[in-house]
Structure 1
Amino acid sequence: MEKKEWYFEYEIQINRPGLLGDISSLLGMLSINIVTINGVDEGRRGMLLLAKDHRQIERLESILYTMDTIKVTKLREPKLRDRLAVRHGRYIQRDADDRKTFRFEREDLGLLVDFMAELFKQEGHKLIGIRGMPRVGKTESIVAASVCANKRWLFVSSTLLKQTVRNQLIEDEYNENNLFILDGIVSTRRANEKHWQLVRELMRLDAIKVIEHPDIFVQNSEYTMNDFDYIIELRNEPNEVITYETVDNQFFGESEFGSFEF
């Protein structure tokens, strides 16, 4: 029987010497292997486990609930957030009200890139929006995640080097393995109907699309926030307010940037 991975997380109730050793010994007696272990939050530790059948996990669970030194918080098949938490030593922040919104700070760029790369590796249509102030690292993170996911990225609209607005793609660019990047502000402020025809074609393509400034994008198109599978927020600091009041002056001054259409 092929072994299966499980995610085990516990909160330390009584922090005494040898606690981790006791848990490791228990797993060993049950023939459950530890794949990865790390602290995932203050006072919490997470482990990726490998077991050959479900009965081993059931026995483990029954024993763990008799221990007064720990409190089991998760024992389940690992989700993407679990794997990243063990890998990076912290959990991705998730909006309590909007479960598809994930929050990052600039110091978390490594975690953000890893998270997006895992999303980019998934097959099929996926629409991802990313919010953030100018020069916080949105586009750079998308490109880095594309490299990690071994995806070719294409800018449909962008301000990375200069204003780019594409009205058509060449034949081999209509590839479901490509990743398409749009800037919602550029597309709505500087694009023509040919560009929007291209956007609609890409939305029907069974591929990953990432849209910077999704709020502006939906305000000026037929798409809604419900069309997005994930929303990512990237801030310089925890309490930073993401606003678009200064974006026009900072990124769309005629003297700062030319435009590039093709």
Structure 2
Amino acid sequence: MNPTEWYLEYEIQRNRPGLLGDISSLLGMLAINIITINGVDEGRRGMLLLAQSNESIDRLESILYTMDTINVTKLRKPKLRDRLAVRHGRYIQRDADDKKTFRFVRDELGLLVDFLAELFKQEGHKLVGIRGMPRVGKTESIVASSVCANKRWLFVSSTLLKQTVRNQLIESEYSEQNIFILDGIVSTRRASEKHWQLVREVMRMPAVKVIEHPDIFVQNTEYTLDEFDYIIELRNDADEEITYEDMPKNQLFSATDFGGFDF
């Protein structure tokens, strides 16, 4: 049997000296290697493990549940959130009701870039929406993630440097390996029918599409939020409300104002 990776997370009930050494020794006796270890939350520790057999994991589980110094919270094949938690020392915040919505604050841009890069590396269609107030770092995070994933990014519509509204792509840009970036406000408020023909063409491609302001996008198109695989919310701080109500309408919808307004 080939070695398999597992994720172990436990909550420390009684942090006595030598606790980690005891667990490490137990793993060694069961021929289970520690790949990575880190604190993933206050009072919690996460480990990526490499086990030679499932039987050794079963034995580990039965022993760990007898220990009164720890409380095992996860022992499973590692998910993307588990790997990132160990790598960054914190868990990505996930909406309790909507499992496809993930929340970040500006101080977590490194974690966000890493998360998006891992999504971008996956093959096939993926539709990602990003919510956030102006100048919080949405577009910059998408571009940085594309670089980390070694993918080319293409702006179908954007306001990063100046207003961009594409009506066509050149032949070399029709690649499923590219990351296609759209600004939901620009596309729905300032674009022509030719642009929308391109948007629909891109949306049909089995590639990664990232749409900023997905709520505005779906309000004015035939698409729905149910079609999104992931929704990212990026805030300056955890208490910030993402809303368009306080933004002057001329900044939202006037072509003359788009160039200086970084959505």
Q: TM-score, normalised by structure 2?
A: 0.96
Q: C-alpha offsets along residues 165-206 of structure 1, whole Å, 9 cap, x if unaligned?
A: 001101111100000000000000100111111111111100
Pairwise CA distance, 1:3: 1.1
RMSD: 1.3
Distance 1:81 1:186, change over 3 A: same
SS for the counterpart of 1:15 is coil
- The answer to whether the 8 A contact 2:10-2:71 is kept is yes
Distance 1:221 1:256, change over 3 A: closer
- The answer to whether the 8 A contact 2:113-2:144 is kept is yes
Distance 1:253 1:204, change over 3 A: closer
Matches within 5 A, 1:70-89: 70-89=70-89
Alignment partners' CA distance in 2, 1:157 and 1:208: 15
Q: Does 1:115 align with 2:101?
A: no
The number of equivalent residue pairs is 259
SS for the counterpart of 2:10 is strand
Q: Give the aligned partner of residue 106 of structure 1.
A: 106
- The letter for the 1-side match of 2:153 is W
- The letter for the 1-side match of 2:238 is P
Q: Does 1:167 align with 2:167?
A: yes
SS for the counterpart of 1:2 is coil
Alignment partners' CA distance in 2, 1:250 and 1:80: 38
Q: C-alpha offsets along residues 41-75 of structure 1, whole Å, 9 cap, x if unaligned?
A: 01100000001110010000010011000000000
Q: C-alpha offsets along residues 14-38 of structure 1, whole Å, 9 cap, x if unaligned?
A: 1111100000000011110000000
- The answer to whether the 8 A contact 2:131-2:242 is kept is yes
SS for the counterpart of 2:74 is strand
Alignment partners' CA distance in 1, 2:4 and 2:129: 33
Unaligned runs of 5+ in 2: none
Alignment partners' CA distance in 1, 2:185 and 2:237: 23
Alignment partners' CA distance in 2, 1:159 and 1:128: 18
Alignment partners' CA distance in 2, 1:30 and 1:252: 63
Q: Give the aligned partner of residue 232 of structure 1.
A: 232
Pairwise CA distance, 1:250: 3.9
Q: Give the aligned partner of residue 151 of structure 2.
A: 151
- The answer to whether the 8 A contact 1:134-1:247 is kept is no
Q: Give the aligned partner of residue 32 of structure 2.
A: 32
Q: Give the aligned partner of residue 47 of structure 1.
A: 47
Q: Percent identity?
A: 81
- The letter for the 2-side match of 1:13 is Q
SS for the counterpart of 1:223 is coil
SS for the counterpart of 1:222 is coil
Alignment partners' CA distance in 2, 1:254 and 1:195: 15
Q: Give the aligned partner of residue 197 of structure 2.
A: 197
- The answer to whether the 8 A contact 1:10-1:74 is kept is yes
> Which is worse superposed, 243-252 or 32-41?
243-252
Alignment partners' CA distance in 1, 2:90 and 2:248: 32
Alignment partners' CA distance in 2, 1:247 and 1:145: 31
Matches within 5 A, 1:177-192: 177-192=177-192
Q: Give the aligned partner of residue 129 of structure 2.
A: 129
- The letter for the 1-side match of 2:98 is D
Q: TM-score, normalised by structure 1?
A: 0.96
